[in-house]
Homo-oligomer: A and B are copies of this chain.
Amino acid sequence: MTQLVKVQNFVVSQDGFGAGEDQTLDRPFGHADPGTLFAWAGATASWPNRTEPGGSRGLDDYLTRDFANNIGAEIMGAHKFSPHRGPWRDHDWQGWWGDEPPFHTPVFVLTHHERPSFTLSDTTFHFVGGDPADVLRLAKEAAGGKDVRIGGGATTIRAFLDADLVDTLHVAVAPVSLGHGVALWKSPDELLDRFHLDVVPSSSGVVHHLFWRR
């Protein structure tokens, strides 16, 4: 069984930005509205944060419920974990996700600044430096044979793409433009030299882009 390195359910604007600028504690996506970017996933029956029954069970639901399928570890950038910059001032901040983070695996947070690992429910956060290949080695080992998710943001995905370490990507292009922000790409065509691509429009308005290595 191949151990894959996957990007899953990563959302960008039509102009290719995964987040806006000026990230703060209250605005993890900066000037971008995550409600708009993630509306397609939030409407599905499988959305992990769903509080009421119901939800759609069409195409978007397949992609949403595949999020945890055979994933054994996640790698995320420091800005996905926290709005802080520089050395950790305290260790009270434990991410945006509350006591039950939606990862359920070891998570490796890329940072130049040391910090002890900690566990919330069935998610353990580790803080690691090094280049993408080094971090991926740690994550693959922790994943116990399962796949490794590159969780974003856009800068982290770009770093792993530039090191040619990604096997598959699912990127949902939301029907919104941001103008500026943290860019994943100018165009999905940039990846076509290395990846096959299925472009799959959804009735929700997003266009799913499914890449796999040639």
Residues of A with Cβ closer than 8 Å to B?
A: 2, 45, 53, 56-59, 61-63, 65-66, 69, 167-168, 196-198, 200, 202-203, 208, 210, 212
User: Contact at A200–B59, with CB atoms within 8 Å?
Assistant: yes
- Distance in Å from the Cβ of A8 to the closest Cβ of chain B? 11
CA distance in complex: A61, B213 (Å): 14
Q: B residues within 8 A CB of A66?
A: 62, 65-66
Which of B56, B65, B208 contacts A69 (CB under 8 A)? B65
User: Contact at B212–A57, with CB atoms within 8 Å?
Assistant: yes
CA distance in complex: A119, B126 (Å): 44
User: Contact at B62–A212, with CB atoms within 8 Å?
Assistant: no
CA distance in complex: A62, B172 (Å): 15
**Could you name 14 residue pairs across A and B whose Cβ atoms are closer than 8 Å?**
A56-B212, A57-B168, A57-B196, A57-B210, A57-B212, A58-B196, A58-B212, A62-B63, A62-B210, A65-B69, A66-B66, A69-B69, A198-B202, A200-B200
CA distance in complex: A91, B72 (Å): 43
| Most chain B Cβ neighbours within 10 Å, of A57, A168, A208, A210 | A57
- Distance in Å from the Cβ of A117 to the closest Cβ of chain B? 31
- Distance in Å from the Cβ of A73 to the closest Cβ of chain B? 19
Q: B residues within 8 A CB of A208?
A: 59
Q: B residues within 8 A CB of A45?
A: 212
Q: B residues within 8 A CB of A200?
A: 59, 200, 202
Which of B57, B58, B203, B210 contacts A59 (CB under 8 A)? B210
Q: B residues within 8 A CB of A212?
A: 45, 56-58, 61
Closest chain B residue, CB of each to CB of A63: B62
Q: B residues within 8 A CB of A168?
A: 57
Closest chain B residue, CB of each to CB of A199: B203
User: Contact at B202–A53, with CB atoms within 8 Å?
Assistant: no
Q: B residues within 8 A CB of A59?
A: 198, 200, 208, 210
